[in-house]
Chain A
């Protein structure tokens, strides 16, 4: 059974810092890995999707890496801003086909960026 752990559980940083969020998983036979952002009381916004054959993906100030052999992914946020404050969730899909929707989520990292 896939287990996903995110460290740290919470992080508070001053504006402008570069930061790294960590995600580890127990079953490396993944189809893809997705990073989401969730604002309080809201739904999820997809940030980055990494296929199992890829090592990293970039979007603006965000960079996500994937190392299947060690069961780890990191989300790097450059030059953090107060608007980045949210919960960041890592989710894994262990199989394609009819199981496309079955994501296993981590508990999330609550990020606070203060001015």
Chain B
């Protein structure tokens, strides 16, 4: 399995603020993705983090709200901007290794609570 680490693991934030989540992967990972899991729900893909270029966002997610960076192959950040209580979720970084199996691995997630 690939090693994927995220931080912070959890945080409590005030409405209107922004928080950046960091994700570090091992060198086996070639593609990186960000998912959201709202309370009691399953996972939804936010975007694909592209190295050195703008992320590819899924329908319903926009760059102004969820800016993503991936400055190099093994590191990415997701910012949740201008947070509201509806943004309270677990945000998960995931990655795919270079081998053509399609298997995805996930980090431990970052649990955000917005007051």
Q: Interface of A with B (CB < 8 Å)?
A: 31-32, 34, 36, 41-46, 49, 51, 89, 91, 93, 96, 98, 100-103, 105-108
Given A31-B102, A49-B101, A51-B102: A101 touches B108 (CB 8 Å cut-off):
no
Q: Kindly state the separation between the CA atoms of A106 and B41 in the bound complex, as whole angstroms.
A: 9
Q: 1/0 per position for B69-112, CB-CB distance to A under 8 A?
A: 00000000000000000000010101010000111111111010
**Which of B41, B44, B90, B104 is within 8 Å of A34, CB to CB?**
B104
Distance between Cα atoms of A59 and B24 in the complex (Å) = 28
Contacts of A98 in B (CB 8 A): 48, 56
- Which residues of B have CB within 8 Å of A49? 101-103
Among residues of A, the one whose C-beta sits closest to the C-beta of B94 is: A101
CB contact between B48 and one of A32, A36, A101, A105 (< 8 Å): that residue: A101
Chain A CB within 8 A of B43 CB:
yes
Enumerate 16 A-B pairs (CB-CB under 8 Å) in ascending A order. Answer: A31-B102, A41-B90, A43-B92, A43-B108, A44-B92, A46-B106, A89-B42, A91-B104, A98-B56, A101-B45, A101-B48, A101-B94, A102-B45, A103-B104, A105-B43, A106-B42
A46 touches B102 (CB 8 A): no
Find out whether the CB atom of A108 lies under 8 angstroms from the CB atom of B42: yes
B-chain residues with CB within 8 Å of residue A34 when the two chains form the complex = 103-104
Cβ B43 vs Cβ A101 within 8 A: no
Chain B, 31-79, CB within 8 A of any chain A CB: 31-33, 41-45, 48, 56, 58
Complex Cα spacing A44 to B108, Å = 7
Other than the known A44-B106, A102-B58, what 19 A-B pairs have Cβ atoms closer than 8 Å?
A32-B101, A32-B103, A34-B103, A41-B90, A42-B109, A43-B6, A46-B1, A46-B105, A49-B101, A93-B102, A96-B102, A100-B31, A100-B102, A101-B33, A101-B45, A102-B45, A103-B45, A105-B43, A108-B42
With contacts A101-B33, A102-B58 taken as known, whether A46 is within 8 angstroms of B103 at the C-beta atoms is: yes
